[in-house]
Amino acid sequence: MKQNILKNLQKRVSAFGVYDDFFVVVDEINRVLFFSKNLIMQKGFKLKLSPNNPNEKSTKFSKYFKYLIITNKNVVNLFDLEKKKFVYKLENKYDVLSVSIDRNNRYLAIGDIDGRVVLYNIVIKKEISKIIKHKDFISDLDFCELSNEIIAGSYDKAVLFINTSNFDKKERYLHIKKVKKVEEKEYVVSCDEISDTIKWDVLKFDSKDRVDFYRDFKDFFIDKEILVMLTSKKIILYDLEKEVILNDNFLEIILGDKIAVFNNYLLISLENGLVYYYNLLENESELLDCILKEDFKKAYELIDKNPFLKRSRGYEKLEKLVELKIKEAKKIFEIDPIKGVASLQKLLEVPFLREKIQEIINHYTNLVKFKKAILSGNYVLAYELANKYPLLKETKYYEILEKKWELSLEKALKLLKEGKIIQAKEVLQPFRGVSSKLELIELVLKKYELIFLLKEKLAKRDFKGFFDLIKNHPELKETKEYKKVIEYANRLYEKAKEYLKNEEFEKAKKIALTLSQIPPFEEKAEKILRRIEIILRLLSFISNKEYEKVFEYVRLYPFLKELKSYKEFIKEYEENVFKAEVLMSKGKKEEANKLLNSYNNRFTSKRIEKIKSLF
């Protein structure tokens, strides 16, 4: 990719700010520069402050472009970017290494060299609490929107999760070296000084995924599912969703310092003040040329080198073309297997497609034989081929085969009911050599009334009786009635999960009770019912204002944090705590205490106690 120079600031970049329509840079002498979507500089200004320290995470933009925080040693300055004015300056007891602002722009959190995380109310310009005193430097922190925590990294290899509702904390010592950066976007990620990287489950305070790069860490940027890692010598790309390395040498960069992705541009600042940028979709035209020539091998090689191309229109065209080629090849196999194989040769050259394409070739070269066996009535051979080459079951011919079996079974049952046993045997004779059907055929010829009983149970939705029959006669699993019930149960299960997600608990419970009568789904039904029971108990605690039990229950069952009702409860709680702080600052203690006491009388909260002691 072509390297372009955005700006030679001559001073090191301290922070990048990435927003929907613009990109912002602040350097160590507090110059703030704004760039448009196409990276043209629009405006800039310089703040009259002492230089900040680019080595620390103490200069940051708020997430939704409201504030810029600039720190010099123990002095933290808060600047309102929208109004272009200072909000206030605070002096911490110790040097500040890290800062962050919450999503509502109400609170500023700082981490210092004494191991303290301190919370400030921005609106009333007052320290609310020293939330924790940790045993080593707090190197970076971030407010987490996915849960109700501040996440902090420390020099002692720990990542701390601090609940902002009650100031409870959880320490996780999982890193190899000093933690250098923590950030929450689509994922919560932390990284230490040798690029040991952890993707966190913020509900359980545990590692979801971990990868070690063993490189001197400089910076990372989370861009949707891609983690862009800047080390001392190169850039590494990692897929946070699939948890695989995409490219361990995407670009070679010496003296790289900060990194960001904005509007399909990759931006890198160097220690000498230069800022480079690269167009991540620069080689899309080359990709389109490969598509035109149907050079699939080269097309996917381009994507392997630059996974960002997956976000281009060219990649959409490539995927559609591959899908079309496979579809066309399957039709060719119906007529001429040799031509079918030839039509897939270019796709066979693509390493990651090779296994899939080879499987299609191995299976579909038998399609002509399979089709001929069905049309000639050689059902034994047809089923043998389908079992040996399962992709044949995805064809319309397998549907025809299964339909022939169902019709033959129905016809035989009718004949048996009329007492025409010999004729029934003749109808089923073509299927008697099929191993999967043989036991059912023998059962039907001996006890055909069981099939009618099975149908009756299904019509009445008597699932207990239905599965009692299946238990006693497993061969009945080859009937269309059994397949219908399993398909029906699968649909119900998916619907129950949807209702549970939308918090329609009565509907989910009703479905789960039905599923509990279907043995293959009993365990899944029990899990749904158990989850509903836990949720309803939490809702009862909230309704009865048993707040101690609410927080205790959520600690016990972390998934409850994702519950809409719990989020609304926390939102209301935080709103009231914030209002109480503002009222206290104005001297309206009676009104503030009224708000706080509605909670404090029902559970012990370190946060509420601290508020009352401060004012």
- Domain residue extents for the chain: 47-212, 287-365, 547-614
Q: pLDDT at position 492, please? A: 97
Which DSSP string corresponds to 285-317?
HHHHHHHHTT-HHHHHHHHHH-GGGGGSHHHHH
Share of the chain above pLDDT 90, in %: 87
Three-class secondary structure of residue 174 per DSSP: coil
Q: pLDDT at position 181, please? A: 98
Q: Residue 496: how many CB atoms within 10 A of its CB?
A: 26
Q: pLDDT at position 329, please? A: 97
- Residue type at 386 in one-letter notation: A
CA dist 235 and 261 (Å) reads 13
pLDDT digits (tens, 9 = 90+) for 384-410: 999 999 999 999 999 999 999 999 999
Query: How many residues comprise the chain?
Result: 615
Indicate the DSSP class of residue 51.
Answer: -
Nearest to 231 by CA among 211, 210, 247, 214: 214
Task: Using alpha carbons only, give the angle 565, 566, 570 rounded to the nearest 5 degrees.
Answer: 120
Label residue 587 left, alpha or beta by phi (over 0 means left) and psi (-120 to 50 means alpha): left
Q: How far is CA 269 from CA 37, 65, 258, 286, 353, in A?
A: 18, 21, 5, 28, 38
Q: Which residue has the tokens 């099939």?
A: 451
pLDDT band at 22; cut points 50, 70, 90: very high
The answer to whether the beta carbons of residues 531 and 538 sit under 8 Å apart is no
CA dist 43 and 420 (Å) reads 93
pTM score of the predicted model: 0.90
The answer to whether the beta carbons of residues 76 and 118 sit under 8 Å apart is no
CA dist 582 and 125 (Å) reads 10
Average pLDDT over residues 519-526: 96
Q: Which residue has the tokens 């250098």?
A: 180
Report residue 208: phi and psi, to 5°: -90, -35
Q: pLDDT at position 132, please? A: 82
Position with higher pLDDT, 613 vs 319: 319
Nearest to 300 by CA among 350, 339, 340: 350
The answer to whether the beta carbons of residues 476 and 413 sit under 8 Å apart is no
| CATH no. for 47-212 | 2.130.10.10
Average pLDDT over residues 116-136: 91
| H or E element, residue 143 | strand 138-144
